[in-house]
A and B are shown apart, each in its own frame.
Chain A
Amino acid sequence: MIFATPNQDGSKVRFKTRYGNYIGGEWKEPVNGKYFENVTPVTGRAFCEIPRSTGEDIEKALDAAHRAKAAWGKTSAPERSAILHKIADRMEQNLEMLAVAETWDNGKPIREGLAADIPLAVDHLRYFAGAIRAQEGRSSQIDDNTVAYHFHEPLGVVGQIIPWNFPILMAMWKLAPALAAGNCVVLKPAEQTPASILVLMELVGDLLPPGVLNVVNGFGIEAGKPLASSNRVAKVAFTGETTTGRLIMQYASENLIPVTLELGGKSPNIFFEDVLAKKDAFVDKALEGFGLFALNQGEVCTCPSRALIQQSIHGEFIERAVARAKKHVPGNPLDVSTTVGAQASNDQLEKILSYLDIGRKEGAKVLLGGERAKLSGDLSGGYYVMPTVFAGHNKMRVFQEEIFGPVVSTTSFQDFDDAIAIANDTLYGLGAGVWTRDVNTAYRAGRAIQAGRVWTNCYHLYPAHAAFGGYKQSGIGRENHQMMLGHYQQTKNLLVSYDPNPMGFF
């Protein structure tokens, strides 16, 4: 089945030719009247105009958020929870529409939007709708007359800068806990994928009080920086790369506010020799786990982009893994049978091709792919890359840098210690995979790898209620878990004396 192209007869989604910013519950023209063209990576053609906002628009959004924050912060947890449930329900009822919008904006295959992005976004809302109901403050008895009460209070107005790889899902990872905790938000989507979040706001904007959630689009330097450096936000959350992460921390230091950062990784996927010890479904599961480097065209912060395979099974495993990966070729992202879609932008395509080039120059062997994929017809102008398997060693740059494309670099290891040494020889520590039939190996490897998430005999699962975040240069903070509420709350301590008598001290 192939979903109809947006804005054509029978399509699930109709994009406007021009969008505004969503501020104070209304659609507003950008103050300077400027727009930029938004391109779909599926065909490489522009399909709508997006505000090219500036600091003036950010200020208007902050005005609206500050007007809304007192009332929203005092809304009861059951009321906020009910609103999040309503947003989730409406998204679920419009699953196909949102998935098509996401595919057209981002290039991802529709099967991912239908099975993962949108259902996970819905579930995150429901999770935090529940978590905020279940959260309770703690009290402690200091002595017989003195009690410390701890209450959770919202931070107020927060800024969130969203990446382009899972535009709606990454927005919900940040919005669900922020809104549940009673904060108002000014959100800046990525300039590569600004449209699907606007479609979402058209769908659910009326469910929130005006000003609670404001969306301002534009370029990082013109709209993102004024948001990140504003002294009117109480916290900034960002997903992206390390230099911008540093800049955001630098701006935050000027305002003495906290940040949460998710900055990517170079995740090792480790296959121990006992994986092939039997001929059973687990072997296929492990081979599937290898092939997940091409999920979402590799545009995942936890892409399993380094496959470490024990020497004793290396030859057979690679042969079977490459044969399996070969079946996944780029196709029409709107076709539900397509597993590999388009890269999100032309510059992303060019960056991936530059890494295919340096990989070859460094002497890595190309076992699969290694080039741009040429599709026909309308798709010929889109940004497609053949899933690529390199063989080399861990000092090569294709093993050390996040390519953010459907590219895996493979190498072998001798024993457990060797595997862990290679796995940890990276600047990053976001995700990792461990595949073994031995529970002791699984546990020891999982604990030894310096990464925030170690998938054990699985990969690329992102359920709510499992903490996600980085070690080392991969960032600060944890998402997807009720502990994220703490990143969006102040702790208010009331220290109360029930002693009617003076201290007799002063």
Chain B
Amino acid sequence: MTCTPEAAELIRALRAEHGPLMFHQSGGCCDGSAPMCYQLGELRIGARDVLLGEIEGTPFYIGGDQWERWQHTRLVIDVVPGRGSGFSLEAPTGKRFLTRSELCEIPQTPQGPQD
């Protein structure tokens, strides 16, 4: 995974204010499917979370079940103007991290029971 220069700049600014950071990819409704940025250690990382990589020196995790469904894509963390809810650190800045995706490989069409 990677991040855009704009996202890297925002991560640096947040780190200067809040100290070391972490990301966790959310799922579900409202602000689901969006990356959440916290102070490092704020969210307890569980045994089934997967470390996807680092962006701007910051670890980026995703839930294991979700990772299974996302693993054919490469994530690019970007920034857009906005105001995500949730407890992500950047919301008060008027900017919101956004997960964009690139394809690693085309997933195989699953075979139905009739095939």
Contacts and interface: CB of A to CB of B under 8 A. Distances in A.
Contact of A220 (B27, B33, B86): B86
Contacts of B43: 243, 246-247, 250
A224 B98 contact: no
B80 A347 contact: yes
B83 interface: yes
Nearest to A475: B28
A259 to B, nearest CB: 15
B28 A240 contact: yes
A220 B44 CA distance: 18
B60 to A, nearest CB: 12
A421 B96 CA distance: 36
A475 to B, nearest CB: 8
B110 A401 contact: no
B33 to A, nearest CB: 5
Interface stretch (B2-10, B50-58, B65-73): B65-73
Contact of A241 (B30, B73, B89, B107): B30
Contacts of A393: 109-110
Which of A246, A262, A363 has the most chain B CB atoms closer than 10 A to its own CB? A246
B92 interface: yes
Given A350-B80, A397-B73, A404 B101 contact: no
B31 A244 contact: yes
A251 to B, nearest CB: 10
Nearest to A34: B92
Interface residues on B, range: 35 or more
Contact of B80 (A165, A242, A346, A362): A346
Contacts of A421: 113
A72 B59 CA distance: 47
Given A243-B36, A362-B103, A397-B70, A265 B92 contact: no
A192 B33 contact: no
Interface stretch (A127-135, A270-278, A314-322, A411-419): A411-419
Contacts of A26: none
Given A241-B26, A243-B86, A418 B36 contact: no
Contact of A354 (B65, B81, B91, B99): B99
A234 interface: no
Nearest to A248: B87
Nearest to A350: B80
A443 to B, nearest CB: 22
Contact of A191 (B63, B65, B83, B99): B83
A242 B63 contact: yes
B5 to A, nearest CB: 17
Nearest to B99: A354
A264 B100 CA distance: 21
Interface in A244-290: 244-247, 250, 262-265
A20 B31 CA distance: 25
A276 B86 CA distance: 43
A241 B29 CA distance: 5
A474 interface: yes
Contact of B107 (A245, A347, A362, A415): A362
Contact of B87 (A221, A395, A428): A221
A37 to B, nearest CB: 9
Interface string B21-42: 0001111111111101010001
Contacts of A240: 28-32, 85-86
Given A242-B63, A350-B82, A163 B29 contact: yes
B92 A222 contact: yes
A345 B92 contact: no
Interface in A380-407: 393-397, 400-404
A421 B84 CA distance: 34
A468 interface: no
A363 B65 contact: no
A447 interface: no
Contacts of A19: none
Contacts of B36: 243-244
A294 interface: no
A345 B83 contact: yes
Given A165-B29, A354-B101, A394-B110, 11 more contacts: A221-B89, A240-B86, A241-B28, A242-B27, A244-B36, A262-B29, A264-B27, A354-B99, A396-B107, A401-B27, A473-B65
26 contacts: A164-B30, A191-B85, A191-B91, A192-B85, A220-B86, A221-B89, A221-B92, A222-B92, A224-B87, A239-B30, A241-B31, A243-B36, A243-B86, A247-B38, A247-B87, A345-B84, A347-B83, A347-B96, A358-B73, A362-B103, A397-B70, A403-B33, A414-B114, A421-B113, A473-B27, A473-B65
Interface of A: 36, 39, 52, 163-165, 190-192, 219-222, 224-225, 239-247, 250, 262-265, 301, 345-348, 350-351, 354-355, 357-358, 361-363, 393-397, 400-404, 413-415, 417-418, 421, 427-428, 473-474
